[in-house]
Structure 1
Amino acid sequence: MAIDVKSTVAQWRQEIVMTLKESTKSARILCALLVFFYALSGYILGGMAITPGYLFPPKFWVWTLVTSSMIETTFMMVFGGLTVILGASRLLEPLWGEKEFCIFFAVVNAMSGFLSSIVYLFGYAVVFNDDLLFATSIHGLASFKAGVFVALKQSRGEDTVIFRLKIKQIPVTYLCCAAILCMMEIISTTYFVMLNTGMFSAWIYLRFFQQHSRGRGDLADHFAFATFFPKVFRGPIGFLSNIIWNILTKLKICQKATYKYDVAAATNITISLPGTSEADAERRRKKALAVLQERMANIESPEEGWSEDEETSPEKAPEKTEASVKIENEVADQVA
């Protein structure tokens, strides 16, 4: 079956134009910058991309942490970058807002560039190869692509995409595939390093520092670091991450989760959990209230064989109060 190349190209062009028109101002600006720097990449690559040896003193080229993400040297990488920016904008901006999306873009790329440079610095300390510091060029949107997968795991982790693969399983699957491609020398080692540091940077920012209407960060259990890995590895990874977490909280770098319960009345429970959505909190609250009311009704109704004296005996009142408190605590644990 013959393929009409002209009509196919025209259709793609129309879809791209429509997508750009429907996108937000921030997404269009990022796309324009990516194309602009791609046109100049042959002339400004050395001064705009991150070179690990120049990022630290005495050179201290800190501006490359900002500019490096916009430098792509091939058309396919530019096309992939445009697709990621427009797709991420459509999926994440309705949840966060345009300003927060731009902050996420900048923070992930800058933090990933810095961490990637640290990786190469440690590599140099092991093998003493000057090329790791001065012949390595860190640039492109690989970090942001990986960070988008982390953001989608946080917001739409249970959605199924293809072959019954859920979004929450994509980050580790993507890294495994990238590792195989790196060993086959299909993708560069630098690209693979940027994927890893990009995912880690996005998780750090979303987990502990992102500002939103409910406070800061997302300390929900489903977004813990161990949940990025298969269940067989979650035990040891969770153990190590808890040790690091305790150290960071003692150093005041991270804050522990705060749980507030208002049980002044048996039918009114107010819960404040940082990092959880309002819809999820409301669902949990209604479920807890239903369980509490059902158990309270069972306690207050007299059982068969009770005598009238037992019902009115003042010695039984403390037992009933203790049972009520126990149930309230159990329901509160379910909500938490």
Structure 2
Amino acid sequence: MPPRINIPPVTRILLVVLALQSVLSAAIRYRQWTAHSEIVIPYLNLIPQLSIVYPWTFLTTTLVESNIFTLSIACATLYHGGRYLERAWSSREFGKFLLITALVPNTLCFGTMVTFFAFTGNDRWTLMTIAGTIPFQISFLVAFSQLVPAHTVTLFRGILSLRVPRFPLLYIGLVALLCLTPMLASASFFLAVYGLLTSWTYLRFYKPVFPDLDTSQQASLRGDASDTFAFAEFFPGPARPFVESISSQIFNVLVAMRLCAPFTAADISAARGESTFVPRAGSARAEADRRRAIALKALDQRLHAATAGSASRAQTAPAPPVVQTPLPSASGPTVQTQPNVTTQNPMTTTQTGALLGETSYNPDGDDSRNNA
């Protein structure tokens, strides 16, 4: 039998909905296609002038691709990125992340199209289709930039090496180039920019962090205050001072509007201790290993004490009396029988008194505490 492909539940649902909605959109376009008009589906895709009566399109439009090329890229992105992030964050947190990174960029793009129409009076802006998994794709790149900020990807057999935080801007540049072709609409560029800002803001300030049980990290810690996840890290070195000055001013405005909260001393100290947060599964495993080591050590001490006590009692016990058993024949000799004293220790000991087979489990960080 071929090996079963293990796909987490939320990722599996995304792939199924993406395939169904994309096939449905293609079938409708095929049936209504004409050479003189452009087919729009206002009850499936988000179109500012027509979809206002279909509010669910603010979510459904994200899982609709209009051609086989973008559909293939979307399936590969959701399959690999979705499996990784859902296992690292849990299905609930991953679903919340997807909901935010789909709804907020689509709403902001909707407002941008309406604003352009208000200034220009051109209906083309309000009849433009806002669709595609672009917000998800760039959000995954931002999430990877938080999880593995120091990871380097080598392309073209070592000719080009890039750190993971460089990919979001490269992706926006690629989308901008494709918007000049019939493959992507102009709204895709705004979806990419808003997807970057939305995902970074949520991960930086709002996403709950799973606490590490081996440290004194607060259970209610949110966001990521590490320097490796600053917004300027997405830009090349020469542009970072300029980006840092602008982002600091914007952050101060958001704090004044009470949309963001400044990081506390505990947040900064926790971020300096670890560049990224520790997944919940790993922390629970570390805590279980630490408790198991303590339990095994206590069990060994009890077995050692019990063995030493039984050995000392056996050495101090008096010898059993000699029993004379007469034989049936009166003329025969008297037989003296003495029971053999055999002392079986539960576990043999060495000359230093240590138990044979003593379990010694020292996880990382326990050696220093035991020697203290």
Aligned ranges for residues 1-336 of structure 1 at < 5 Å? 21-41=5-25, 42-43=27-28, 45-54=41-50, 59=52, 61-133=54-126, 135-162=127-154, 163-183=160-180, 187-214=184-211, 215-260=221-266, 271-273=269-271, 276-277=275-276
CA drift at 1:51:
1.4
Which one has the largest radius of gyration? 2
C-alpha distance in structure 1 between counterparts of 2:276 and 2:254, whole Å: 25
* 8 A Cα contact 2:113 2:125, kept in partner: yes
Shift of 1:185: 5.5
SS at 1:94 equivalent = helix
Distance 1:250 1:69 in 2: 32
Cα distance per residue 1:80-129 (max 9 Å; x no partner): 21111111123212321121111111210111101111221232233221
- Looking at structure 1, the residues matched to 100 and 239 of structure 2 have their Cα atoms a distance apart, in angstroms, of 29
**Deviation (angstroms), 1:198:** 1.4
**How far has the Cα of 1:186 moved from its partner?**
5.2
Q: 3-state DSSP class of the match of 1:47?
A: coil
Deviation at 1:29, TM superposition (A): 1.3
Evaluate the alpha carbon distance shift between residue 53 and residue 209 of structure 1 in structure 2; reply closer, same or farther with a 3 A threshold: farther
Q: Partner amino acid for 2:198?
A: S
* Counterparts of 1:127 and 1:151, CA distance in 2: 36
Give the distance between the partners of 1:147 and 1:121, measured in 2 at CA: 24
Give SS of 1:130's match. coil
User: Could you tell me how far apart the structure 2 residues matched to 1:153 and 1:188 are?
Assistant: 27
* 8 Å CA contact 2:130, 2:187 repeated in 1: yes
Distance of 1:69 and 1:249 partners within structure 2: 30
More helix by share: 1
Deviation of the 1:257 alpha carbon? 0.8
Unpaired runs of 5+ residues, structure 2, are 29-39, 155-159, 212-220, 279-372
Distance 1:276 1:161 in 2: 19
CA separation in 2, counterparts of 1:271 and 1:219?
9
In the alignment, what sits opposite 2:335?
A: none
SS in 1 for 2:12: helix
TM-score (normalised: structure 1) = 0.68
Instruction: Provide the residue aligned with 2:344 in structure 1.
Output: none
Amino acid in the other structure paired with 1:46:
P
TM-score between both structures, scaled by the size of structure 2: 0.62
Residue 233 of structure 2 aligns to which amino acid in structure 1? T
Percent of matched pairs sharing the same residue:
24
Amino acid at match of 2:24: L
1:153 Cα shift? 0.8
Q: Quickly say closer, same or farther: Cα 1:202–1:212, change in 2 above 3 A.
A: same
Post-superposition shift, 1:54? 4.7
For the aligned residues, what is the CA RMSD?
A: 2.8
Are the counterparts in 2 of residues 45 and 71 from structure 1 also a CA contact under 8 Å? no
Cα drift, residue 172 of structure 1: 1.2
